[in-house]
Amino acid sequence: MTEIPTSRHSAFHVLTGLFSLPAGARIGVGPMIAAVILVVIVLATLLAPFYVPYDPLSMDAMGRLKPPSEAHILGTDPYGRDIFSRVMMGGRVSLLIGVGAALVSIAVGLMIGLVAGFFRAADGIIMRIMDSLMAIPAILLAIALVALNGPSLSSVIIAITVPEVPRVVRLVRSVVLSAREEPYVEAAIALGSSMPKILIQHLMPNTFAPLIVQGTYICASAILIEAILSFLGAGVSTEIPTWGNIMAEGRTYFQIKPGLIFWPGLMLSLCILAINLLGDTARDLLDPRMKKREG
Amino acid sequence: MELKSRDFSDAKRVLKIRKLEVGLTGRPDAVHVLNEIDLDIRAGETHCLVGESGSGKSVTSLAAMGLLPKDALEIRGGLIDLQGFEITNATAAQMRELRARRIAMIFQEPMTALNPVLRVGEQIEEVLNMHTDLSQSEAKKRTIDIMEQVHLPDVERIYSAFPHQLSGGQRQRIMIAMALILDPDLLIADEPTTALDVTTQLQILKLIAEMQERQGTAVLFITHDMGVVAEIADTVSVMQKGRIVERAPIRDLLKNPQEDYTKKLLSAVPNLTPRSARDVSGKKDVVAVEDLNMTYGGGGLFRKSDEVKAARDVNFSIAPGRTLGIVGESGSGKSTVARCIMRLIDPTAGKITVAGHEIAKLTRRQLQPHRKHLQIVFQDPYRSLNPRWTVARSLCEGPINFGTSREEAMEKAAELMELVDLPRDALARYPHQFSGGQRQRIAIARAVAMKPDLLVADEAVSALDVSVQAQVLDLLDDIQEKFGVAMLFITHDLRVAAQICDEVLVMQRGQVVEHGPAGRVLSDPHHDYTRNLIEAAPGRHWDFANFRALESAPGHQGAIA
């Protein structure tokens, strides 16, 4: 019997394979802070309905543009709505759009990318379609969709997703193209495994690590694009507060009430900064070149 | 055969290493990577460091160059002295001055050691520009001169060529020219011929010896190949687990090794004398290949691209329980043939009959039921198992595809583990927890699980250390005996072919140049190419396993004195 070195990994870590950190990898202070900030923002916005003092939509003609006070921590907007409540509630929609756009574009991109990478015949056609989709600017598409359907959550998500999908497709396709040349894939062909089985069981897991990283970037850019769209008036309807449309409404009162732009802007910046920083950290940790060979 | 074993005790000492200790950076308690390495190399001497992978050969050479990766390895103690200059304490600037001028290095893979976007002539000249004050024209003259010395053909053309336009041998010559242009005292060669074909390897070894003689350079030669050692070494140091376990002049080491480890290492070197062929069973051939052709390229939408005929009219058949070896150098088409038979690629023409069925023209779907008759073991055990799957899952994949229930497949897998001499509880582990040899056993078990009629081994032992190689060859032998499987063994290594094959087929540029019983082909080759291959096999006059010279060296007699 030959001796087998014991592993430092627990079965779970090996099972996922993705989340096993390389030996000696240290997560710096920056990403830690980013993670804390992100968790706080996510929890605060998710739980907002339980603690915000006012309905973000209830107007008060008597209390317009009030400075911060005990009743209104951040003051009120031109319609007398509580800014604090609006910012916290608005974050829910912003984050929903970010996460939603990331999930939808990854799910769609993954499927198309797997097919493009594995079936040579389909590759050329799919990739040319993706190239043309990439040429559509998100903002233009959003304006067109809003013009057609009126402002809504789904048109915003579609507008953000359509230009992102080709990026995901390209990523997945490149991973599949290199993985399909691996001897273990050829061995699976020799063992008589069917194409869907090889695609899903052997090739797809290789794409997860880069997709996690790509997902964080999509999430951050979706939040930002939503803000831009809302600012331009092509986003979610003004009845639903988002960070973007709160800032859009606040811009005319910027000189007398800077808090209208500052507070949602601050949340937006912190959130995107934190997500991007975590994405970078994930990229470094998941990069196979960082992983030392073990065993 | 003639071993070098010259005596250098009077020559000037070039490199002195004393009690060198190298450990992992930042982990003082961890086991040291190198322990008490002592080494002396004198002017004109060739000192070989041999050992299996992970024994610390390369770390020793990197320490001598001052090139240890700082974030991973650091010197813990001891002394490295290059003619009175202490490398262990040198600053980065001092080391830079030292390299090329007094100590130079060549690497295994010349393609990655050369800059792909610069002309090779400029790259050699850069060494001169860095370290000397020669004028442009003088530098060019020196460069052309050294390129001629390393016997590059058509020097003017090669001077302005890019690395990818040269062959592997030519690139390695460029590396040697670059290393020797400033006439260093010490040349460190880290497996410089491992990536080359045997005939090229022989030329490069000759070139190093010639340059050494001309310039009196001391050479520290790192290799795992005992044949190469026998060919070039004066003195040999055997390394094991970070220690030098034995050091002796080459003749003494090969004839009378003292340490058990050295003996084990030498005994594992396969002999070039072919095994006695097994009896022809009289059974019907299980595989027959007729006029197999594989042509790459030739397509193109607007104009025909150049065709490459990777295999031309290949014919052979294998009976159950017998082994056919395909030997040849890189690019000879031997792997193409294997992949065609496995139907990993589609042959352009010809017939492949496996277990009575013609499979060359079947579509993917039609082929599926026939897949179980054919199995393959690949070269690189690190890539041939899915890293995310347990061994059990890998072993069960095939049987489940062919309708075996999961429980039954698991039972089979456990039996297979015993067959390949691995513990049953290894089933629940992942490939990265095994060594290369163990992984190759798993890959073999996975192939055997299908009970194939034909097992294709594509360079299946080439990536393994010699001692592991011997074990895996034994395992393949056992399996063949037990299951009577026919085997197609692809290899570039004639020693391995001699060990395992009943018949040998020699390929050159896609064509079969010789085909016959292994004993006949290896001892009495008819074709010039076969003869060249055999003559280029390093250390072919030495019977390593029995510590003596071979009386009748295989191949054509008297080619190399």
Can you tell me the distance from the alpha carbon of B282 to that of B452, in angstroms, rounded to the nearest whole number? 19
Is A7's pLDDT higher than 50?
A: no
pLDDT in the model for residue B220: 93
- Mean pLDDT is highest, among A16-30, B66-80, B246-260, B292-306, for B246-260
> Which residues of chain A make contact with B364, given a CB cutoff of 8 A?
195
B368 and A192 in contact by Cβ < 8 A? yes
- Give me the numbers of helices (H) and strands (E) for chain B, helices first please: 20, 22
Six token digits for residue B370? 């026939």
- Give me the numbers of helices (H) and strands (E) for chain A, helices first please: 12, 0
A190 and B380 in contact by Cβ < 8 A? no
A23: left (phi over 0), alpha (psi -120 to 50) or beta: beta
B384 and A187 in contact by Cβ < 8 A? yes
> Which residues of chain B make contact with A205, given a CB cutoff of 8 A?
388
Closest CA to B515 of B293, B338, B324: B324
Q: Are B75 and B21 in contact (CB under 8 A)?
A: yes
pLDDT in the model for residue B300: 60
Closest CA to B559 of B532, B539, B524, B522: B532
- Give the H/E segment covering residue A150: none
Six token digits for residue B164? 């990818």
B184: left (phi over 0), alpha (psi -120 to 50) or beta: beta
- Assign A291 a pLDDT band (cuts: 50, 70, 90): very low
pLDDT in the model for residue A25: 55
Instruction: Provide the pairing of β-strand B307-318 with B454-458.
Output: unpaired
Q: Are B204 and B173 in contact (CB under 8 A)?
A: yes
Closest CA to A87 of A156, A153, A35, A41: A41
Six token digits for residue B23? 């450990």
Report the chain B residue with the minimal C-alpha distance to residue A8. Answer: B433
Q: Does residue B402 or residue B90 have the better pLDDT? A: B402
Is B560's pLDDT higher than 70?
A: no
Q: Which residue is listed with tokens 């071993």?
A: B3
Mutation target for A interface from B418, B433, B444: give the one with most A CBs within 10 A.
Answer: B433
**What is the pLDDT averaged over residues A117-142?**
88
**What is the pLDDT averaged over residues B398-409?**
91
Which candidate from B342, B379, B382 shows the least CB-CB separation from A190? B342
Can you tell me the distance from the alpha carbon of A272 to that of A218, in angstroms, rounded to the nearest whole number? 10
Share of chain B above pLDDT 70, in %: 95
Q: Which residue is listed with tokens 């290896």?
A: B522
Is B553's pLDDT higher than 60?
A: no
For residue A236, the 8-state DSSP code is: S
Six token digits for residue B415? 């039996």
For residue B46, the 8-state DSSP code is: E
> Which residues of chain B make contact with A4, given a CB cutoff of 8 A?
422-423, 426, 429, 433-434, 438
Q: Are B131 and B181 in contact (CB under 8 A)?
A: no
- Assign A254 a pLDDT band (cuts: 50, 70, 90): confident
List Cα–Cα distances, B301 to B297, B298, B526, in angstroms.
12, 10, 44
Share of chain B above pLDDT 90, in %: 28
Q: Report yes or no on whether pTM surpasses 0.90.
A: no
pLDDT in the model for residue B236: 92
pLDDT tens digits along A51-84? 888 888 888 888 888 888 888 888 888 888 888 9
- Give the H/E segment covering residue B171: helix B168-180
Q: How far is B110 from chain A (nearest CA, A)?
A: 22
Closest CA to B329 of B530, B82, B93, B182: B530
Which candidate from A183, A192, A205 shows the least CB-CB separation from B398? A192
pLDDT tens digits along B447-472? 999 999 999 999 888 888 888 888 89
Handedness of CA B100, B105, B106, B110 (dihedral sign): negative
Average pLDDT, chain B: 87
> End-to-end distance of chain B based on CA atoms, in angstroms?
7
